[in-house]
C-alpha cells in the first residue's frame, strides 16, 4: 500500500515537474532558448516510456533540432492511427509558435491530452530554426529563408525535416508562423489585420482537389469556430497588400513553403499564422496561448475525423503514385470569382474592430500554362546538382537504359521573357521541342519517373517554363540558357 502511494506521489511530482515549460516558469517573460528546449523535451521524454526524442537534423551552425514523438505505444506501429507533424519557428523572429508548441508538449506531459493519442501518433518540432531563434532573426545561420527552401532543399534544417517526413510519411501536418500586421502601408490605410490566428489552406492547383475542397469546406469553418470559442480571434490567412491598391489572396501557390511542400505529397496540410507582437516579447503569453489553441484545435479535429482523413489522404496519394493528374499547371495566377471579402481589421484611429469589404479579392488560382506529365525526366549523370536535389527529396530514381521504343523530348530555349509571379518577376522561356528516340541519346542519363508520390513536385520543379521551378532559383538558373538545349529531357512511353 505504502509502495503504491509512493509510486502515485512520484508520478504526480513527475507530471507537475514537466507540466510547466521554461517559458511558463519564467512567468511568460523569457523566451525559451535552444538548450532549454532540448533539456525540456529530454526530461518530458524521459518521464514517459512512450515518448521519445528524435533529432531530425543539425542547423547550419551545428545546433541539433529535436523532435518529440508522442504516442501511447510504439510510434508509427499502429496503422489505424493518423500520423501528424507539427513544426514551428522556421522563422527565428517568430517565437510564439515555439512557445505554443512547448505549451502543448507540457499538456501531453501532464497526461491531460492522452485521449488524443488514442487516434493520433504525434510529432512536435518546436524550433526548426535554432540559429535564427537564438538571435531573434528570420533567417537561418546561412542567411537563408527556410520557408522558401522546401523545393530546392539547400538548407540542412529542411533536408532533415524532409528526410524525417519521408521516414514516417505523415498524413497531416501544420507549419506554425507569425504574421506582422504593423507595416507602414497598412497603418496609413487606417486599419490593420488583427486576428490572433490566421489559418492558411493549400492553394496550389496541382495539389489534390479533394483535399483542398475538404480543407476549405470542413476544416476551416471548424477551426475558426474552435479558436473563437476559446477566446481568440481567427480568420483565413490572407496575405496581399492594402485593399484595392493591391489584391488579397489566400496565400501563395508556390510549393517552396512548409505547408505546400508537404501538401504536394497529398498531406492534409496547413499553415498557422499567429499575430506577431511589436517586438519578440510583446504580448507573448497571449500570442503563445493562441498558437497552442490553434494546434490543439487541429489535433482535436484530426482525432475526431482520423478515419475520414486517413482514407482521403490514402486515396489521393494512390492517384499521384499512379501518375495522375495527366496535366500539371506550371504557370498560375490568382483571379477573382466575383466575390468580395469581409476582412476583420482593427481601426488604427479608434483601436476598435472594424470590417472592410475587399473588392480586389482573388481567392481562385487558375492555370496559365499546363504541361502534359511525361512518364519521367532524364537527367544527365553529369548534373550532380540535380541528382543531389532528387536525393534530398528521397525521389525514386534509376539509371536510364536506352530503348528505341522511348520517345524523348528535348527543349531548345529560343527566347527568355519574364512573367509576374505574385509581384516577383521570373523567367518565362519559350522553346522548341525536338523529338528523338531513346537509342539516339548521347551521354548517360538517370531516369526520374513521375509515377511516384512527388510526381507533381517533379514536374513543377523540372519544367523550364515553371514559374515556381528550379530555374527560378539562383542555384539552378544556370540550367536555362538561350539558344541551348535544356539539359533535362522528357521521356514519353507509348
Rule CB under 5 A: which residues touch Zn ion? 91, 94, 177
CB of 344 to Zn ion, least distance (A): 21
> What minimum distance in Å lies between the beta carbon of 334 and Zn ion?
20
Helix (H, G, I), strand (E, B) or coil at 62: coil
Q: What are phi and psi of 41, to 5 degrees?
A: -65, -40
Determine how β-strand 268-275 pairs with β-strand 172-179: parallel
Residue with smaller CB distance to Zn ion, 83 or 177: 177
Compare residues 94 and 463 and give the one whose CB is closer to Zn ion: 94
C-alpha cell of 85?
507533424
| Closer to Zn ion by Cβ: residue 175 or 428 | 175
> Min. distance of Cβ 440 from Zn ion in angstroms?
49
CB of 183 to Zn ion, least distance (A): 15
| Nearer of residues 91 and 334 to Zn ion, judged by Cβ | 91
CB atoms within 10 A of CB 231: 11
Q: Are 80 and 120 in contact (CB under 8 A)?
A: no
Nearer to Zn ion, 132 or 363 (CB): 132
Looking at the Cβ atoms of 175 and 409, the one nearer to Zn ion is: 175
Q: Cβ 457 to Zn ion, closest distance in Å?
A: 21
Concatenated DSSP letters of 242-296:
SBTTB-B-SS---S-SHHHHHHTTT-EEEEEEEEP-SSSSTTHHHHHHHHHHHHH
As a whole number of angstroms, the distance between CA 84 and CA 333 comes to 31
Q: Which residue is nearest to Zn ion (CB)?
A: 177
Nearer to Zn ion, 200 or 266 (CB): 200
Q: Please report how close the Cβ of residue 138 comes to Zn ion at its closest, in angstroms.
A: 7
Quick one: which H or E segment has residue 457? helix 455-462
SS3 10: helix
Is the sign of the CA dihedral 62, 386, 464, 212 positive or negative?
negative
- Closer to Zn ion by Cβ: residue 94 or 99: 94
What one-character DSSP code corresponds to residue 373?
P
Q: Nearest distance from residue 94's CB to Zn ion, in Å?
A: 5
- The minimum distance between CB 168 and Zn ion, in angstroms, equals 24
Residue closer to Zn ion, measured from CB, 71 or 89 = 89
Q: State the minimum distance, in angstroms, from the CB of residue 139 to Zn ion.
A: 11
Please provide the DSSP assignment of 404-456 as one string.
Answer: TTEEEEEEEEEEEEEEEETTEEEEEEEEEEEEEEGGG--S-EEEEESSSTTHH
CA angle centred on 199, ends 293 and 222, rounded to 5°: 65
Q: Show the cell assigned to 231.
A: 477566446
Closest CA to 291 of 101, 486, 38: 101
Amino acid at each position: 500500500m505504502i509502495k503504491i502511494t509512493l509510486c502515485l506521489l512520484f508520478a504526480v511530482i513527475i507530471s507537475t515537474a514537466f507540466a510547466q515549460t521554461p517559458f511558463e516558469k519564467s512567468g511568460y517573460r523569457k523566451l525559451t532558448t535552444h538548450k532549454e528546449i532540448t533539456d525540456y523535451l529530454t526530461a518530458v521524454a524521459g518521464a514517459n516510456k512512450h515518448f521519445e526524442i528524435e533529432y531530425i537534423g543539425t542547423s547550419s551552425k551545428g545546433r541539433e533540432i529535436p523532435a518529440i514523438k508522442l504516442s501511447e505505444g510504439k510510434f508509427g506501429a499502429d496503422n489505424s492511427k493518423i500520423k501528424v507533424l507539427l513544426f514551428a519557428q522556421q522563422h527565428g523572429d517568430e517565437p510564439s509558435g515555439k512557445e505554443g508548441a512547448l505549451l502543448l508538449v507540457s499538456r501531453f506531459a501532464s497526461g491531460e491530452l492522452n485521449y488524443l493519442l488514442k487516434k493520433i501518433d504525434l510529432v512536435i518540432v518546436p524550433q526548426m530554426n535554432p540559429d535564427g531563434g537564438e538571435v531573434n532573426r528570420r533567417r537561418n545561420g546561412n542567411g537563408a529563408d527556410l520557408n522558401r527552401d522546401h523545393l530546392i532543399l539547400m538548407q540542412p534544417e529542411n533536408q532533415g525535416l524532409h528526410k524525417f517526413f519521408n521516414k514516417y510519411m505523415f498524413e497531416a501536418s501544420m507549419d506554425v508562423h507569425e504574421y506582422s500586421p504593423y507595416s507602414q502601408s497598412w497603418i496609413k490605410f487606417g486599419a490593420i489585420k488583427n486576428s490572433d490566428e490566421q489559418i492558411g489552406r493549400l492553394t496550389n492547383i496541382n495539389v489534390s482537389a479533394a483535399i483542398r475542397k475538404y480543407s476549405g469546406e470542413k476544416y476551416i469553418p471548424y477551426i475558426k469556430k474552435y479558436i473563437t470559442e476559446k477566446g481568440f480571434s481567427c480568420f483565413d490567412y490572407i496575405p496581399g497588400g492594402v485593399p484595392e491598391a493591391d489584391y488579397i489572396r489566400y496565400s501563395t501557390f508556390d510549393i517552396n513553403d512548409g505547408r505546400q511542400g508537404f501538401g504536394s505529397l497529398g498531406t492534409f496540410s496547413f499553415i498557422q499564422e499567429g499575430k506577431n507582437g511589436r517586438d519578440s516579447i510583446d504580448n507573448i503569453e497571449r500570442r503563445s496561448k493562441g498558437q497552442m489553441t490553434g494546434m490543439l484545435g487541429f489535433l482535436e479535429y484530426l482525432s475526431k475525423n482520423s478515419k475520414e482523413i486517413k482514407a482521403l489522404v490514402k486515396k489521393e496519394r494512390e492517384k499521384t503514385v499512379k501518375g495522375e493528374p495527366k496535366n500539371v499547371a506550371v504557370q498560375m495566377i490568382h483571379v477573382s470569382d466575383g466575390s468580395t471579402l469581409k476582412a476583420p481589421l482593427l481601426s488604427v484611429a479608434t483601436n476598435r474592430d472594424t470590417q472592410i469589404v475587399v473588392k480586389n479579392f482573388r481567392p481562385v488560382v487558375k492555370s496559365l500554362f499546363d504541361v502534359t506529365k511525361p512518364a519521367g525526366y532524364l537527367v544527365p549523370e553529369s548534373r550532380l546538382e540535380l541528382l543531389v536535389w532528387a536525393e534530398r527529396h528521397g525521389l525514386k530514381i534509376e539509371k536510364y537504359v536506352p530503348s528505341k521504343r522511348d520517345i524523348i523530348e528535348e527543349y531548345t530555349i529560343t527566347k527568355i521573357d519574364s512573367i509576374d509571379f505574385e509581384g516577383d518577376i521570373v523567367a518565362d522561356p519559350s522553346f522548341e521541342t525536338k523529338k528523338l528516340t531513346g537509342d539516339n541519346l548521347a551521354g548517360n542519363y538517370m531516369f526520374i519517373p513521375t509515377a511516384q508520390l512527388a510526381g507533381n513536385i517533379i514536374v513543377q520543379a523540372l519544367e523550364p517554363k515553371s514559374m515556381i521551378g528550379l530555374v527560378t532559383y539562383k542555384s539552378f538558373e544556370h540550367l536555362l540558357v538561350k539558344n541551348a538545349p535544356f539539359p533535362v529531357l522528357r521521356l514519353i512511353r507509348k
